[in-house]
Structure 1
């Protein structure tokens, strides 16, 4: 008890002097050990009237009494034994103090770890320790954009930290929820990237990833549609996808329609098209419902002159190609005598055969009668 002497201290003020001269401890016939305990320690008190003293536990002469030497008394406690007991107590107290300090440090480390995992502490991470999110949201990150961001960070520093989680399968690595461009810019500058580390499930990661991009109005319409397709293919529930994209059910339906009905390779070939919104993507979706239009779109996007265009221009080139009506290709079939008996016209969706019955009236009837046989021959040829 701080600032106050203990009961034993008040009752035995001469103990310190006795220990210095190694004299016998005096007797305390009025000292009684109480049956009650406080904090696991026995209590002592002065004997009241009519109470027995504790002289049987603490003899009047601890060195020697009438029955013989103190060394032969079972309850006799010599001064050296008492000193040894006090030494043990002091050692125990020191050990307890060290244990308390150790527990305090452990608690501080635990609290710091909890703050770190909760994303309340910003740390510096080596970009080489970082992996991209398991779901891509951006379609293109140009070198020019990374260069501009790196120059800004060099001048002003990294103001907003990125968000990462401990990698679910790789030790000592982290997975980015958002901030991919900031991480690439820091890597280009050869510096560490400021990050907050948070324990995230897959669902929490994609929600954080999508909502951060939506807050900055950063993803284009087709990137959001593509993000939906990626999340849906990985089995995420509709509620999680809607939270990640921050859209209502009506807007989500538009993303689903465009993202699922336009072939993914055509979306990838066109790119993010930042200036192209939902109405024009839906127009492209309608044009691509014919298989021949899909083939023509792929052919256009494979041309060198279109591949080098910016993303918005690639979109416009494909739309223009599909909206343009191709001139029908006409062929003339002549018989062995050189007579033009059949006129064949090919379009994207049809083939028209016209036979001139004036020169060979029965040829058309013969050809029609053989169509079933010709088709069976065609099927057999395909099977071979």
Structure 2
């Protein structure tokens, strides 16, 4: 797995976090382009808070524990929907079902982000029991539109994706399919819905990349691995050769699109519930899948049925030569409590971000519990 790059800056207060974004050169290589077709120059700048700086930018479902088989996503999803038919009724699109599962803490291929820096700061320093853990926290910053420019399998433009885009439909369908033929059929049926966006020829090209394109066995894995997209093995007319994925040569070839489907895309979800609205929530939807055992492909070079392993955000960022999609800021462990107090003073609390009554009650209990001496201001 690729090493996390060095942080861009250390921040010790809310004011320093804001200054890092509004002054200096932090965003010179990261801010969304003002010339993009839709949205202003900051639309698509997303944030994510990590309680521990060592945490990876990978959804829980796609983090198999060392020495253990990956989670059975299909069975997990089917079981959740069977147990909770009111939460995810029959006919609910796959992406909407994944958002519901994420809301109720089930493992999914979604990773939470927010458009609000202060919300991300809250999640980075939220838990008091980590104030003495000895590990720093972190804020990750993502250029979501630029990510989609490189990872979309249906269009090459710096735009956010929405629930009815074919890229989203294709990756979300992985929650209920086990092989490429089943995946193609599932996506083909979903793309027939009247509200699906995009042109027919793009859909046809996507389906071909899923169902008609064998992938190199090197793309199949049972655990996380580093993928060098500057020299990734692809099946070409001259055999399997290392290819620089992000060059402009034959961008829409089926082999390149098939690999892109193993990458995450940035999705602006319908904000249908108060929690997502309060948190200005957004998601990256991750592609690919790990397998329990790779021995079935021993001695082979191509597989027509396997689904390739996930390609993560750091692999994409590392392959770019002149631009970035990611930066991160370090929050010293000793500053967690002070930053939490600053956020509370400006109204960024559990009560503000979680409208459910259990969270409201937890916030009230914390607010009216006398502080420890160690909680006093420095």
Normalised to the residue count of structure 1, the TM-score between the two structures is 0.22
Give the helix-richer structure, 1 or 2.
1
Normalised to the residue count of structure 2, the TM-score between the two structures is 0.22
Higher relative contact order (CA 8 A, sep 6+): 2
